[in-house]
Structure 1
Amino acid sequence: MAYSEKLAERINSILKGKRGIVQKKMFGGICYMYKDKMSVGIVKDDLMIRVLPEKYDEYLKKPHVRKMDFTGKPLKGFLYVGSQGIKTERQLSKWIDVGLEFAVKSPPKKISKKTTKKAVKKASHKKKSGA
């Protein structure tokens, strides 16, 4: 088990009825995407959250929160919240709101030229094949 299924059930319960949420396997766990941006996720037993850059240091000071550094180098804008920090549904819901805030308020993703070229090529291939 790469991630806590119990935590996934809790998150699913909180997000139930929220339109636009998509689950995706990522970082060896599961992530919840909103507006095409990762908002929260689960890696092992930890809640992984995306935070706005201007709030990163503020949230890092909270109990049971640490930098996300599974590669040995912390990823700015990503934090882990340990199980002690999400014991109650209220605590978990609060952290989910932090992740959703990132997805709503952060600027749109920049699309690289390489990605754009792939999309154009794929679309033209579909036209030719009649798909």
Structure 2
Amino acid sequence: MAFDVELAERVRDVLGPRPGLSEKRMFSGLAFLLEGNMICAVTSRGLMLRVGPDAYPAALIQEGVGPFEMRGRAMTGWVLVDPDALADTDALIEWVDLGVRFTATLPAGGSKAR
């Protein structure tokens, strides 16, 4: 499946230029990483976003947001935001900023959250 190229461009615009930011094709989509840790990935189903374990419960109760599942198992700390919930630029900014704030707390190099 192809990812949503328009959404990827919007995420790129929100992230802007910043040190340590990179992009990588993965999960049949385009991932955005900060110092080697994934912030989010644009997929054909929407935005897979790393919110962290503390923000996870509050994120799940938002409209258009569900758990991100891998092999039928919910990945705690990760959500899938429906494209319709990202149509508004301010909403996209809030979601991406949430992902950046959590990811910035992780050690560089793709280490797992504690």
TM-score class, shorter-chain normalisation, is: 0.7 to 0.9
- Residue 76 of structure 1: aligned partner: 76
Hey, what's the Cα distance between the residues in 1 that align with 2:44 and 2:94?
A: 20
Asked if 2 retains the 8 angstrom alpha-carbon contact of 1:28 and 1:43, the reply is yes
Deviation digits for residues 55-79 of structure 1, max 9, x if unmatched? 1111111111001114211111110
User: Is the contact between residue 66 and residue 80 of structure 1 (CA under 8 Å) also seen in structure 2?
Assistant: yes
Letter in 2 for 1:103: T
Higher strand share: 2
Query: 1:3-14 to 2 correspondence within 5 Å?
Result: 3-14=3-14
* Separation (CA, whole Å) in 2 of partners of 1:34 and 1:25: 14
Name the CA distance, whole Å, in 2 between partners of 1:69 and 1:31.
16
d(CA) in 2 for partners of 1:33, 1:84: 23
CA RMSD in angstroms, aligned pairs only = 1.6
Please state which structure has a larger fraction of its residues in helix.
1
Larger Rg: 1
State the number of aligned residues.
110
**Preserved CA contact (<8 Å) 2:52 2:102:** yes
Q: How far 1:107 moved relative to its partner?
A: 5.0
CA separation of 1:57/1:107 partners in 2, compared to 1, >3 Å: closer, same or farther? farther
Identity of aligned residues (%): 28
Which residue identity is paired with 1:62? Q
Give the TM-score normalised by structure 1.
0.77
- Partner Cα distance (1:48, 1:105) in 2: 18
